[in-house]
Structure 1
Amino acid sequence: MKRIALLVAIATTLSAPAAAHIMLQQREAEAGRSYRAVLTVPHGCRGQPTTGITVSIPEGVFAVKPQPKPGWQLVTRSQPYQRAYTNHGREVREGVVEISWSGGSLDNAHYDEFVFVGQVDASLADKGTVHFPVVQTCASGEHRWVDLPKPGETAQLDQPAPALRIVQAQAGGGHGAAAPAAVFEKAGIRIEQPWTRATPGGARVGGGYLRITNTGQAADRLVAGQVTFAERVEIHEMAVAGGVMTMRNLPDGLEIPAGQTVELKPGGYHVMFMGLRQPLTEGQVVKATLTFARAGTIEIDFRVGSVGGRNAPGGGHHHHH
């Protein structure tokens, strides 16, 4: 019993700093890739509930989009960047530099997450680490998680700003390889890794694949899609029945249950681009709009992989939930 108690005490001690501070859930990102930031808020201010979170975005993290939270007011502040960046082939000179969620109430005994996505510029690989200062407003008082380490300093800070370590992109990187990290979010629906296959000349159909997560409290349904490179978009299911491969249209769409992930992949659920107006070529990025019954329309980018490819271009991994 003494040994068990000692182990519990050690585990509690080691985990205390992580539980005490507002931190980034994923504390490492690849330079030149997109990044999904999840700020974890483990407690309030001296027992008081949290009523507001404001995060400052460091230079070099651009094209930032926050995720709304039910019951909270979302406000962003934008200004010109110190330099121009490139996002999906377009020059970006200004964007969101501060995000504020306010008007909610997160009890001191409860935990929650505040989410945004953005692009990490390749130049940040030389910097090593960037910080996202956070001001946590409470019913009475506030915590300012804004302390930054001085060069060569190793002492633990009282209220450290959440830190993100930037590493070089893995072999096979580049703009095209960033596709697996692409995330599109709106109203509780998160879409990851949209991709399609290159099509030979004369082909009239193509398939689209992606992973959809419903982070909301109610079921949603993918009901339609629209693209400019094809006449229409349909939602299909492919399955094997009696040893025979079948494919059928889902006129009522595809349900995305609350709190679950549905993967659209070769050999299963997928979207079909019917009546292609042009071939899809490897390395291309094509835009699409998907419509959900509750979340509404979400604009996404499909990256085009090889003919007959089985995975998203860039060698990304599919995570099943």
Structure 2
Amino acid sequence: MKTTKIITSTLFIAAVSTAQAFAHATFVDGSAEQESTVVAALQVPHGCEGGLATTEVQIKLPEGFISAKPQPKAGWELEVIKGDYQKAYKNHGKEIKSGPVEIRWKGGNLPDEFYDTFTVQGKVSGVEVGQELPFKVTQLCGDKGKVSWDEVAAAGVDPHSLKNPAPTIKVTAKAHTGGHDHAGMSMDTDVVKAGNLEVSGGATKAMLPGQPVGGGYVTIKNGGDSDDKLIGVESSVAGRAEIHEMAMVNDVMKMRKLDEGIVIPAGQTVELKPGGLHMMFFDVKKPFAEGDKVPVTLIFEKAGKVDVILSAGAAKGGGDHQHN
């Protein structure tokens, strides 16, 4: 195993509030579909015995949770321990044999009277439906206290009977979503979960010679009881990315930038597609070609940053790329 360089985050991550206190460390969402990318948010409910504040949180990632990316937290150092997987996995067409196996948030201060979430994104791969993936967690409270959530229930044993059960994610069957054609484009089949949001159908089109900008499309489902908002887009392959809309104004089709973002209403699905809401990529370093996988980060008001992949289809079928 090897340890990556420890970095100190200066990003501000807003804590998600809840009306219910949990006695054990648990995940906000305790389930994930087969072969899906999930944002696992661990809830740390209290400090160590005697009311000691938590200063470090360690999560050991189970086999079958691959290509993990932790979310930095303001005031905490982040350490990622890498190692070899027990077998090879496929992720976006590439063979993956190693990656993060443990995440540590260090040097922080979470008082006993508060709770917080510690978040890591990863793909659930090669795991049977119904299997529970245990994430063994350790809380340190300076050098005077420690809580280990590392007990794994044997077959037939109720996990609730354990004193310090490891938080688990139960693997469910992959949903068969309806056919959003996106004008014949190839779409990435991964479903990325972030809290109450599910992002799927990532797609783009190959760029024609001389085409100055590229477009991007996804489907966003909000399964929660409160609205969220897509407030920004980033991509390492473009100088800048924006959220746009094409709409009829006085019988004329016009394009405009949505500085205010896109609301994702509670219990509803919003589709970014050609001829409507969509993403735009400017100063593209290399024109998208058919078959490319374009990395994009969606930024939500509540769910935070979510990494998705757009699969590039053929250039045919028109698009949203003309800014005249």
Q: What TM-score results when the alignment is normalised by the length of structure 1?
A: 0.66
- Which of 46, 53, 57 is matched with 2:57 structurally? 53
Q: Would you say the 8 A contact 2:54–2:139 is kept in 1?
A: yes
**Match 1:95 to one of 88, 95, 99:** 99
Select the residue among 235, 238, 252 that pairs with 1:244. 252
Q: Are the structure 2 counterparts of residues 299 and 168 from structure 1 closer, same or farther at C-alpha, using a change threshold of 3 Å?
A: closer
> Which of 162, 171, 174 is 1:169 aligned to?
174
User: Aligned-pair distance for 1:44?
Assistant: 1.0
* Distance (Å, rounded) in 2 between the aligned partners of 1:158 and 1:224: 43
The count of residues paired between Structure 1 and Structure 2 equals 266
Structure 1 regions of 5+ residues with no counterpart?
1-14, 184-189, 213-219, 310-321
Contact 1:197 1:280 in 2 (8 A): no
Q: Tell me what 2:192 maps to.
A: 181
The correspondence for 2:294, drawn from 287, 290, 308, is: 287
Distance 1:70 1:276, change over 3 A: closer
Per-residue Cα deviation, 1:3-38 (whole angstroms, up to 9, x for no partner):
xxxxxxxxxxxx98x710111111111111112110
Amino acid at match of 2:77: Q
Q: Give SS of 1:93's match.
A: strand
Q: Check whether the contact 2:245–2:255 (CA below 8 A) recurs between aligned residues.
A: yes
Match in the other structure for 1:118: 122
For 2:27, the equivalent position in structure 1 comes to 24
Partner of 1:80: 84
- 1:111–1:240 Cα change, 3 Å: farther
Specify the alignment match of 2:73 in structure 1: 69
Match of 1:4 in 2: none
Deviation of the 1:270 alpha carbon: 2.6
Query: Residue 161 of structure 2: SS of its match in structure 1?
Result: coil
**Of the candidates 254, 257, 268, which is equivalent to residue 277 of structure 2?**
268
Kept after mapping to 1: 8 A contact 2:138/2:147: yes
| SS of residue in 2 equivalent to 1:19 | coil
| 1:263-317 Cα distance to aligned partner (Å, 9 max, x none) | 8834235315689987865xx452246799xxxx9985213479879xxxxxxxx
Matched residue type, 2:83: Q
Cα distance in structure 2, aligned partners of 1:57 and 1:177: 25
The answer as to whether partners of 2:245 and 2:278 remain within 8 angstroms in 1 is: yes
What's the offset of the Cα at 1:39?
0.2
Deviation at 1:111, TM superposition (A): 1.5
CA-based RMSD? 4.6
TM-score scaled by length of structure 2: 0.65
| In 2, Cα distance between equivalents of 1:136 and 1:93 | 29
Counterpart AA for 2:191 = P
Q: Match for 1:28: what amino acid?
A: S
- The within-5 A match list for 1:77-226 is 77-122=81-126, 124-125=127-128, 128-139=131-142, 140-154=144-158, 156-171=161-176, 178-181=189-192, 193=200, 195-198=202-205, 204=211, 206-209=214-217
CA contact (8 A) 1:78 1:95 kept: yes
| CA distance 1:65–1:278, shift in 2 (3 Å) | closer
CA displacement, residues 101-140 of structure 1 (integer Å, 9 cap, x when unaligned): 0110011111210000111113x11571110010011143
Q: How far apart are residue 198 of structure 1 and its match?
A: 4.5
TM-superposed CA distance for 1:240, in Å, is 4.3
Q: Does the 8 Å contact 2:214/2:281 carry over to 1?
A: yes
* More helix, by proportion: 1
| CA pair 305-45 structure 1, distance change in 2 beyond 3 A | farther
Q: Distance in 1 between matches of 2:207 and 2:100?
A: 41
Deviations 1:227-255 (A, max 9, x none): 48xx996664434444533114x5xx946
